[in-house]
């Protein structure tokens, strides 16, 4: 077939032609032009997409992608609105928040323990006032409600089911099978039922497994590297003599580290995409569908790990295994595990998340989807100019359609487009508890994304071969998986990363007057500075102007005057139990509500399912009637013939001819539709 001819290099490329030019003065009206004007420009962003036309021009699979993208974008609107409301609620209540008021209160005058060995000094609680106020924006009771809402949103909105397609075989598979059958033939002449068995595939599978594990390990190593960079950078900067440098340590370190993370993620994304493709090729899958699914699975796994590892680290690990003053935990013997900023880890998670999400979207959209294609075009244009002297310009203009289209980029599949959206869906749902504005940013991105993709398909790509598709395939399963994961991750973010549970526990178990007054004091443990181990005490402890005897740190531990000093206290276990109980309640509540919503709102709305049922019945009736008519006509006709022994239909009597019988095509058409 054409596949092998292409593979052998007989043809350079095979592609359907575009309808014509999409712009220019003397271009006659065509579908491409219509799409360009009504779909592929930013001016129409508020309109529905002309999905039928897209489907007609590009085929079902691409039509389905844009339809899905449209639905997803539309679904982001309510999520964004609720997110904005939650954020505004946070802004409105920030001045009434007792814990942050207490932290900002200069009179409290709480001396905190140093956050690192030697170079760090004691610090005042009130200096963390700004971050405490900022973290209230994302860490308030409305966030819990929003998480439940988004978990339901993520589990509900995306329906569509996987069904079988016609298998389209891949040239490489056929080649391998042929090769194998030839080998076998030379052995025992049995050529029937040649398949690639498990044994043939084993080396490829092994390579796959090893490579994937290796690449996940690389990702982890890079994240660990960035952590070490942060720790050592902070230590180096702290030894700097300039006070302006020292006061901005945290900002400098965090900003540079996140940017490094971002760059690494974007670069590795491209690398992993190529590796996943290579790994799938050596697997030699049987059909194109299977190829695509395997590729998507691998690429998704790698990109997911790549994108989310730093975020997982900040959400669940950072600042949790630091030990306590006087007995800190070290990695590689000299680097102390880093702690979260005084405002809490949630703030840091929010910053990390927003920078990676926004940065990824902006850079990928601008650089990879606008910049690089533009540059490629420019290079091609310059090459063309150099090759063909200006007097040949007329000839260029009279080029055939296939020559014009040959200069366009070949269509490389929808995987990158879907992948971008799925990773975005992950940002929107997985950690939404820490960043309620994520849906808004996703919405803004997608409004641009739709038109950007449309422009690319209309103007910059060769027309793709139309492919039939019933649904979005494996992506649906991945979306469902992310939806499920989102529930449990949000439960953990709320209960372990935010201060929601400790606050509740304080309110109901310890608070004397039923308010949050005294919460900040309750969450801090005391440390006697004389218990510092050798060489870990701060170098210039006199920064504050008075001698420190007891400093405070955020943890639930026994005070220095207790029997088992610095042991984990009862409060720690009580709060932990409450956190875990919350996870169980949250997860099961969301699951129950999701099932309930499923039960109340059927997959297919009632009127549509009734419509479908009616149409089916009508179609069957129509078919039956037609067949009956046909039958009757035939019978009466034959009857007549027998009785009259005379031609019932001829040139002299054309009215008697059963013309309708010559076109039974409609009934075929129905059945094609039904089957």
Please report, as ranges, the residues that interact with a second copy according to CB under 8 A. 164, 477, 481, 484, 488, 569-570, 573-574, 576-577, 580-581, 583-584, 587-588, 591, 595, 599, 609, 613, 616, 619-620, 623-624, 627, 630-631, 634-635, 638, 641-642, 645-651, 657, 661-662, 664, 667-668, 671, 674-675
Contact 422, 475 (CB under 8 A): yes
How far is residue 528 from each of residues 43, 111, 325, measured CA to CA in Å? 66, 12, 9
Nearer to a second copy, 186 or 662 (CB): 662
Nearer to a second copy, 278 or 637 (CB): 637
Contact 541, 113 (CB under 8 A): no
Smallest distance from a second copy to CB 650, Å? 6
Nearer to a second copy, 260 or 649 (CB): 649
What single DSSP character describes residue 494?
I
Smallest distance from a second copy to CB 651, Å? 7
Contact 451, 41 (CB under 8 A): yes
Smallest distance from a second copy to CB 70, Å? 28
Smallest distance from a second copy to CB 636, Å? 12
Contact 338, 231 (CB under 8 A): yes
CA distance 355 to 342: 20
CA distance 656 to 660: 11
Q: Note the helical H segments in 493-603.
A: 500-505, 519-523, 570-600
Nearer to a second copy, 71 or 301 (CB): 301
Nearer to a second copy, 98 or 591 (CB): 591
Nearer to a second copy, 52 or 595 (CB): 595
Left (φ > 0), alpha (ψ -120 to 50) or beta: where does 602 sit? beta
Nearer to a second copy, 214 or 573 (CB): 573
Q: Which helix (H) or strand (E) element contains residue 323?
A: strand 323-324
CA distance 378 to 624: 62
Nearer to a second copy, 372 or 634 (CB): 634
Smallest distance from a second copy to CB 588, Å? 6
Smallest distance from a second copy to CB 160, Å? 16
Smallest distance from a second copy to CB 279, Å? 20
Going by C-beta distance under 8 Å and a sequence separation of 6 or more, which residues neighbour residue 185?
Answer: 191
Nearer to a second copy, 309 or 495 (CB): 495
CA distance 146 to 125: 30
Smallest distance from a second copy to CB 570, Å? 4
Smallest distance from a second copy to CB 575, Å? 9
Contact 105, 124 (CB under 8 A): no
As beta bridge partners, residue 526 has: 552
Smallest distance from a second copy to CB 461, Å? 33
Smallest distance from a second copy to CB 631, Å? 6
Nearer to a second copy, 401 or 614 (CB): 614
> Beta strands 550-554 and 524-528: pairing type?
antiparallel
Nearer to a second copy, 467 or 574 (CB): 574
Smallest distance from a second copy to CB 330, Å? 24
Nearer to a second copy, 111 or 667 (CB): 667
HSE at residue 201, side-chain half, CA atoms within 13 A, is 16
Smallest distance from a second copy to CB 627, Å? 6
Smallest distance from a second copy to CB 205, Å? 15
CA nearest to 365, candidates 476, 266, 258: 266
Nearer to a second copy, 376 or 625 (CB): 625
Strand ranges for 516-583 from DSSP E: 524-528, 550-554
**What is the secondary structure of 93-154 as a DSSP string?**
HGGG-HHHHHHH-TTT-PEEPPSSSTT---EEGGGGHHHHHHHHHHSSHHHHHHHHHHHHHH
Nearer to a second copy, 411 or 572 (CB): 572
- Inter-helix orientation angle 665-674/606-644, to 10°: 150
Going by C-beta distance under 8 Å and a sequence separation of 6 or more, which residues neighbour residue 592?
Answer: none
Residue 197 has φ and ψ, to the nearest 5°, of -90, 180
Burial class (CB in 10 A: 0-12, 13-18, 19+), 420: buried
Residue 340 has φ and ψ, to the nearest 5°, of -75, 160
As beta bridge partners, residue 554 has: 524
Triad 25, 29, 30: Cα angle to 5°: 120
Contact 87, 432 (CB under 8 A): no
Nearer to a second copy, 225 or 666 (CB): 666
Classified as helix, coil or strand, 647 is: coil
Nearer to a second copy, 22 or 586 (CB): 586
**What is the secondary structure of 404-455 as a DSSP string?**
HHHTSBPP--SHHHHHHHHHHHHHHHHTGGG-TTHHHHHHHHHHHHHHHHHH
Smallest distance from a second copy to CB 195, Å? 13
Smallest distance from a second copy to CB 150, Å? 19
CA distance 576 to 562: 21
Residue with tokens 């009736």: 621
């Amino acid at each position: 077939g054409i596949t092998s001819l292409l593979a052998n290099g007989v043809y350079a490329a095979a592609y359907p032609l575009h309808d014509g030019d999409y712009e220019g003065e003397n271009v006659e009206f065509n579908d491409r032009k219509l799409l360009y004007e009504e779909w592929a420009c930013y001016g129409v962003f508020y309109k529905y997409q002309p999905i039928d036309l897209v489907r007609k021009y590009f085929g079902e699979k691409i039509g389905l992608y844009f339809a899905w993208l449209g639905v997803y974008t539309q679904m982001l609107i309510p999520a964004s609105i609720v997110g904005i409301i939650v954020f505004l609620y946070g802004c409105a209540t920030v001045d009434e928040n007792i814990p942050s008021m207490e932290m900002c209160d200069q009179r409290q005058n709480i001396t905190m323990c140093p956050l690192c060995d030697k170079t760090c000094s004691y610090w005042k609680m009130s200096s963390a006032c700004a971050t405490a106020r900022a973290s209230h924006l994302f860490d308030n009771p409305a966030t819990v409600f929003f998480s439940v809402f988004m978990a339901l949103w993520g589990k509900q909105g995306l329906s569509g089911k996987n069904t079988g397609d016609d298998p389209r075989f891949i040239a490489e598979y056929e080649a391998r099978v042929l090769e194998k059958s030839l080998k076998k033939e030379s052995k025992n002449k049995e050529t029937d039922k040649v398949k690639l068995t498990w044994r043939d595939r084993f080396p490829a599978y092994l390579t796959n497994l090893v490579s994937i594990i290796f690449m996940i390990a690389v990702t982890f190593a890079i994240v660990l590297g960035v952590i070490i960079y942060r720790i050592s950078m902070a230590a180096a900067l702290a030894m700097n003599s300039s006070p302006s440098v020292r006061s901005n340590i945290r900002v400098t370190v965090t900003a540079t580290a996140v940017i490094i993370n971002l760059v690494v993620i974007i670069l590795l994304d491209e690398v992993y995409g190529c590796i996943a493709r290579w790994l799938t090729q050596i697997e030699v899958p049987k059909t194109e569908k299977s190829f695509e699914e395997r590729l998507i699975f691998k690429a998704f796994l790698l990109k997911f790990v790549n994108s989310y590892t730093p975020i997982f680290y900040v959400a669940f690990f950072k600042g949790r295994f630091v030990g306590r003053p006087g007995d800190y935990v070290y990695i590689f013997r000299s680097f102390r595990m880093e702690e979260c900023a005084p405002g809490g880890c949630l703030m840091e998670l929010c910053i990390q998340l927003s920078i990676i999400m926004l940065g990824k979207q902006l850079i990928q959209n601008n650089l990879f989807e606008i910049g690089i294609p533009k540059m490629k075009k420019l290079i091609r244009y310059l090459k063309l100019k150099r090759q063909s002297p200006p007097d040949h310009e007329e000839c260029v203009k009279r080029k055939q359609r296939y020559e014009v289209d040959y200069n366009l980029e070949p269509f490389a599949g929808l995987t990158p487009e879907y992948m971008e959206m799925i990773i975005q869906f992950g940002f929107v749902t997985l950690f939404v508890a820490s960043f309620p504005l994520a849906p808004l940013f996703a919405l803004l991105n997608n409004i641009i994304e739709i038109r950007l993709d449309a422009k690319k398909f209309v103007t910059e790509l060769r027309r793709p071969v139309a492919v039939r598709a019933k649904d979005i395939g494996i992506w649906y399963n991945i979306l469902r998986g992310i939806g499920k994961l989102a529930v449990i991750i949000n439960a953990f973010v709320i209960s372990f990363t935010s201060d929601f549970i400790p606050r509740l526990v304080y309110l109901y178990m310890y608070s004397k007057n039923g308010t949050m007054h005294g919460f900040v004091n309750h969450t801090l443990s005391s440390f006697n500075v004389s218990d510092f181990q050798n060489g870990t005490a701060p170098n210039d402890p006199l920064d504050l102007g008075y001698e420190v005897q007891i400093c405070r740190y955020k943890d639930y531990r026994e005070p220095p005057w207790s029997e088992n000093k610095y042991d984990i206290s009862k409060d720690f276990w009580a709060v932990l139990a409450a956190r875990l109980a919350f996870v169980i309640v949250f997860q099961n509540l969301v699951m129950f509500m999701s099932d309930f919503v499923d039960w109340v709102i059927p997959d297919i709305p009632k009127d549509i399912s009734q419509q479908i049922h009616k149409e089916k019945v009508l179609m069957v009736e129509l078919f039956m009637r037609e067949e009956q008519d046909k039958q009757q006509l035939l019978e009466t006709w034959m009857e007549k013939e027998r009785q009259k022994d005379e031609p019932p239909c001829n040139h002299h009597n054309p009215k008697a001819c059963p013309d309708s019988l010559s076109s039974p095509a409609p009934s075929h058409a129905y059945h094609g539709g039904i089957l």
